[in-house]
Amino acid sequence: MNIAVCVKQIPDPNVPGNLDADHTLDRSAKPQIDDSDMYGVEMALQLADKAGGGEVILVSMAPNGEVSGLRTGLAMGSARAVLVSDEALAGSDALSTAKVLAKAVERAGDVDLVLTATESTDGYTGTMPAQIAELLGWPSLTFAKHVEVGDGKVTIQRQTEAGYDVVVASLPAVVSVTAGVVEPRYPSFKGIMAAKNKPVDQVTVADLGLSPDEVGWSGARQQIVSVAAAPERQAGEKIEDDGEAYTRIVSFLEDLKII
């Protein structure tokens, strides 16, 4: 079974973010694989293993041929990657990105399943999984906290407001996985060394049969009109616990009439 995993290479989420003058995210620092995508990579590796064969293929879109995040996914055990990198992609919105990734999935070859995170840590638009599925004409099984594949079908436990639903569809399909669905493995030294030589198919927008007008700034059809600092919340009283700090909490609760 061949599984494509959408992987985003993002700036370190622990470093405060910045917007460039054109209102796009400052991506000048060395990017890393989005933590959320590690769950998809791990899930794909486990499902391929259980199926007894097939490849896990990473699919990504990044400026300047950036591969540092992809190498982590390859070091975990993925076989190869398709990377779309093109100046025309700057300013792409969610729909344009989904168009690019859906084409990249097709380029990846004969894929039975696409795995994604529910949303990226930096942009967190959260529309990509179902948009890619719609573009491919496939079912989308979103917000999976458990995934099983067998007999040409995928069955998931889908998070809901009240609990979870068991949802099934035939393959091929797109599944988005929630954080914590599996425990991502650490790349081994052997894996890290092997990743250096794994193939990365770097393509442009034109290679995918898309027009530059469909992506980037021209394809976005939305415009940022203002950026402002949010009103800051001030820090209040701070005390060291000397064994009696709980009494201050009690009086705080009394003042709020919580107790």
Q: Pick out residues in 16-55 that bind another protein (CB under 8 A).
A: 16-17, 19, 23, 36
Q: Which of 28, 29, 109, 166 binds another protein (CB under 8 A)?
A: 166
Q: Using CB under 8 A, which of the segments 4-12, 62-70, 128-136, 196-204 binds another protein? A: 128-136
**Phi, psi at residue 253, to the nearest 5°?**
-65, -35
Nearest distance from residue 65's CB to another protein, in Å? 26
| 193/253 with CB nearer another protein | 253
- Do 75 and 24 meet the contact criterion of CB atoms below 8 Å apart? no
Q: Which of 151, 197, 209, 258 binds another protein (CB under 8 A)?
A: 258
Q: Using CB under 8 A, which of the segments 43-51, 59-67, 70-78, 165-173 binds another protein? A: 165-173
| 53/259 with CB nearer another protein | 259
Q: How far apart are CA 64 and CA 227, in angstroms?
A: 26
Say whether residue 193 binds another protein (CB under 8 A).
no
Q: How far apart are CA 184 and CA 117, in angstroms?
A: 13
Give CA angle at 98 (170, 23), nearest 5°. 155
Q: Which of 133, 149, 205, 215 binds another protein (CB under 8 A)?
A: 133
At 60, the amino acid letter reads S
Which DSSP state fits 202? E
Q: Which of 31, 77, 143, 187 binds another protein (CB under 8 A)?
A: 143
Q: How far apart are CA 221 and CA 114, in angstroms?
A: 27
Comparing CA positions, the residue from 39, 22, 17, 32 lying closest to residue 66 is 32
Q: Which of residues 54-113 bind another protein (CB under 8 A)?
A: 93-95, 98
Q: Using CB under 8 A, which of the segments 47-55, 139-147, 190-198, 205-213 binds another protein? A: 139-147
| 21/259 with CB nearer another protein | 259
Site string for another protein, 197-236 (x = CB under 8 A): -----------------------xxxxxxxxxxx-xxxxx
Q: Which of 72, 85, 97, 142 binds another protein (CB under 8 A)?
A: 142
Say whether residue 121 binds another protein (CB under 8 A).
yes
Say whether residue 8 binds another protein (CB under 8 A).
no
Q: How far apart are CA 113 and CA 44, in angstroms?
A: 9
Q: Which of 51, 79, 90, 130 binds another protein (CB under 8 A)?
A: 130
The gap from C-alpha 40 to its chain's centroid, in whole angstroms, comes to: 8
Q: How far apart are CA 206 and CA 89, in angstroms?
A: 11
Count of beta carbons in the 10 Å neighbourhood of residue 49: 13
Q: Which two tokens stand for residue 12?
A: 């370190």
Q: How far apart are CA 15 and CA 119, in angstroms?
A: 19
